[in-house]
């Protein structure tokens, strides 16, 4: 859905990669060891990642590692804070990407080093509380380009806990837990707000710095929110240094239909191949 918007509405050339079960050839998010096509990152200007607990073969992981070492821009969505987990082979050379990594300079893995935070906790009640996006007033007053046209964000997912962000991180949106899973659900004022969208720079190879944007919202149902879609599309422009080209009211309407699957483990559409989503 996002790729179609970026391609059809904004002129980006997008490539979408899926987790594939090699035994069936079908898309299978529960199969954590295979995402064919990472070689496309060699020519990519931007990586948008929304994986969870992946442990990819070295030949696939090498392209992600090269992308990060080059300091290219990265957009992380929700579970990307814990995008990788090396439980099968903790001695692997790419195990530093795992979300519980303790390797010097890579404490907290890919999430902490590249995006600014690893997995911490469910601050809200998963499956019971939603998230109301609160636009950071200081960032709005500075007319941050990623917030252009963004006013109203609500999603069905709960607020993630954040322990700490890097000193150069700029929070753009805060998340307030809501007492229920409808857009008119009241806020839970007894719970603190947490960052749910921010920018930062990450250390890459040879002393370079890369740009990253992260939002801890982003399951399929969250993207029913027009302004969450706008936030992510704006961030794509920003990450590639195209912030001057962000339209004031960027078109983020769906291309065709969008029928998101329900939040939950194993509830993805079965027996589908990538070509089924063209």
Q: Copy the structure tokens of residue 50.
A: 């929304």
In sequence order, the 6+-apart residues with CB closer than 8 A to the CB of 225 are 152, 153, 154, 155
| Contact residues for 263 (Cβ-Cβ < 8 A; gap 6+) | 127, 156, 157, 219, 220, 221
Structure tokens at 33: 């060891």
Residues 120 and 164: their CA atoms lie apart, in Å, by: 10
- The residue among 183, 182, 177 whose CA lies nearest residue 216 is 177
CA–CA separation, 114 vs 68, rounded Å?
Answer: 8
The SS3 assignment for 59 reads: helix
Would you write out the chain's pLDDT as a tens digit for each of its 278 residues? 999 999 999 999 999 999 999 999 999 999 999 999 999 999 999 999 999 999 999 999 999 999 999 999 999 999 999 999 999 999 999 999 999 999 999 999 999 999 999 999 999 999 999 999 999 999 999 999 999 999 999 999 999 999 999 999 999 999 999 999 999 999 999 999 999 999 999 999 878 899 999 999 999 999 999 999 999 999 999 999 999 999 988 899 999 999 999 887 888 899 999 999 88
């Amino acid at each position: 859905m996002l790729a179609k918007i970026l391609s059809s509405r904004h002129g980006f050339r997008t490539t979408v990669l899926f987790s594939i079960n090699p035994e069936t050839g079908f898309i299978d998010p529960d199969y954590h060891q295979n995402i064919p096509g990472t070689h496309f990152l060699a020519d990519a200007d931007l990586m948008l990642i929304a994986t969870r607990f992946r442990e990819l073969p070295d030949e696939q992981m090498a392209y992600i590692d090269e992308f990060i070492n080059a300091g290219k821009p990265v957009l992380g969505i929700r579970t990307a804070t814990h995008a990788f987990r090396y439980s099968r082979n903790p001695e692997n050379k790419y195990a530093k990407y795992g979300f519980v990594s303790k390797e010097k300079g890579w404490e907290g893995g890919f999430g902490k080093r590249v995006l600014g935070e690893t997995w911490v906790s469910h601050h809200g009640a998963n499956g019971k509380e939603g998230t109301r996006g609160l636009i950071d007033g200081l960032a709005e007053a500075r007319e941050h380009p990623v917030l252009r046209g963004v006013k109203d964000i609500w999603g069905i997912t709960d607020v993630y806990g954040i322990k700490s962000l890097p000193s150069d991180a700029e929070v753009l949106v805060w998340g307030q837990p809501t007492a229920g899973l409808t857009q008119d659900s009241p806020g839970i004022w007894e719970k603190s707000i947490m960052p749910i969208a921010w920018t930062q720079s990450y250390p890459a190879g040879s002393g370079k710095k890369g740009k990253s944007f992260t939002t801890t919202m982003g399951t399929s149902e969250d993207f029913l929110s027009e302004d969450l879609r706008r936030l992510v599309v704006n961030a794509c422009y920003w990450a590639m240094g195209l912030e001057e080209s962000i339209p004031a009211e960027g078109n983020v309407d769906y291309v065709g239909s969008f029928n998101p699957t329900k939040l939950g483990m194993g509830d993805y559409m079965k027996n589908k191949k990538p070509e089924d989503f063209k």
